[in-house]
Structure 1
Amino acid sequence: MAVFACAGCGAELTAPVTEVALPPHAHREGGDRYLPPLLEPGTFAVDPEPSERPWQPWAAITPAQAAAQGVYAPVDGLWSGPGGAVLLAPGDTRGTALIPEQCDGCCASAGGPNLACERCGRTVGARIDDCYRWQAVWLYPQAVRRLPVAGPARPAGDGWSVAPTPPLDPLGGWSDRWSAAVGTALAEVLAASGGAPVAVVPGLLTETFGRTLQRLLPAGAPVRTLGLAGPGLAPEPVPDITLVPRHPWTGAAWQPAPGGAVAVPLDAGVWTYLAFPPVRPTTRLPAGEERDDPPPLRPYRLFEPDRHLLRHRLARLPAVRQPWLRAIYDRLGDRRHHRAASEGTP
């Protein structure tokens, strides 16, 4: 357990918090107009990627410099400041004040350097609570210090037993968390495919992974299979590519992958729903009786993974340097492809 203090005056800026893995939807935007906090209260996560100035456009970066930051395909540009920004739920901050002239979002604060230490006035981070954005506080790594405090280092339990994340939001649209989690995992599934067709088990796995794989990989007889593996599952036969839960505290993939299959980590809540979907009652009501509760919601559009996060992850896989995967990466950056995918056409 830790608290974060101002690097300038030493004032404590947070309540005691325990570390968890950075969620896959940490940088997703869009979806519902007003989104909840990105993290659960009492927790924090660290983003290892650089996120501070200076910003360098891609044209100013050499391939060797990009590779040194773990980027292997063209992107708009890269931050070259230090990594390690700290993500918190807004309610866990203490002794901070907003900088009004820096709060220039649409409906509220959109981020940027708008949070200061209340004691000394030093800019320490960014508060985000604008529309279509997850509510969050990001503390800048050079502006704060992490101090250990008494208390558990991790939440209670082993971390693997998590509540399933439903695929639909309350209005019947696909969950933002699913779009982000599937988009991130799809990058590694594509790399593991070797550019060959992949067979996916019919059902929700096909709706969320299979349709995009079919659109991006060549047609033909499937060469590899995609399925689930993890605690409580013993797939037979073992798929060539297995989606395994990503530990919500450490971010590590469940091990070992059975039978030497390629393990692709997936958000634990999403994985749990896919692996153990809720069982709907099938008992028929007596004749003449009717239920007054509404039927289960069905999505009003086809599932589409988060294209931005899919490309973000692909650009950071060394395999993207292979011509076939680079071609997919470039195709995903084409706005015409994005429009066709959203309309449900190949």
Structure 2
Amino acid sequence: MKLIHFMNQFPDEESCELFIKSYRKKSGIYCKKCEKVTHHYWFSGAKFFECRQCRRRSSLKSGTVMENSKLPLQVWMLAFMFISATKKGVSCLEFKRQLGLSRYETAFRLMHKIRAAMGRRDSLYLLKDMVEYDEGYIEVATKKLVKNQLKRGKGSQRQAQVAVAAESTPLEDSESGKKTRVCGYFKMEVIDKVDSEHVNCFIRQNTDGDVILFTDKNTAYANLEKVVNTHFTVTAGKEETNDTLRWVHKAISNLKRNLLGTYHMVTFKYLQNYLNEFVYKLNRRYFGEKLFERLIIASIHPYVH
């Protein structure tokens, strides 16, 4: 959504309340007492929902990413707009300045709440059919005194291991016979160790159906036949490996440039949230201005804390 459109659609707090109320009714309202999504009445005077079954009352923010926040809804809507409008993300300092927040910590918590909501939304979807898999090694912020004592390169304690998978559909031009691959959805997750146990767990949790999996010849992938229907390994040289695992390698490369260019350095504690934002936008790369409303839905979708 463009800023001028945002100003016209959400000029005040009331317009934001009406918009959120409308979308909450569409997505369903979770009753914490009934422990399920139930039908609710809306009381416009006091501005709360009431469950038809148990009569428990819920605020407009209750059960959403905005729960327990004292920030106005208009600030939250601006946050959704800025995060969804930037393809490569926005730094926390710039985010704080644009929203007019007084404290860096407030902006930081707000951004990570939204990133966590992005991750919850993407966890609803699984990869299917043909899937590429590999790992990326992302350098994380480390104290200078500790950093100098750690080794460099792959496997360094300076780096976090990130499992990356992508749907990859082969296509062939009927006239030229040229073969290409088209990417679908992506998944990224920080894993403790690159071994058979952790890799198998990641693949099992993030794929569905009779998956055909493509990997390189890492020994950590030796038992993947127990998890997927078919497992192919790349046995040729670098060029063939890059062709077979094109989309996971491209995603890892873009992720590193994104983190370095926008955030410069991230801590291990919050790395998964940054991955959530990157993958959420990557999976919705063709949504354009519709990404704003999709992020609203992800943020107010009923979930249990």
TM-score, normalized by length of structure 1? 0.24
TM-score, normalized by length of structure 2? 0.26
The structure showing larger relative contact order (alpha-carbon pairs under 8 Å, at least 6 residues apart) is 2
Q: Identify, as 1 or 2, the structure richer in helix.
A: 2
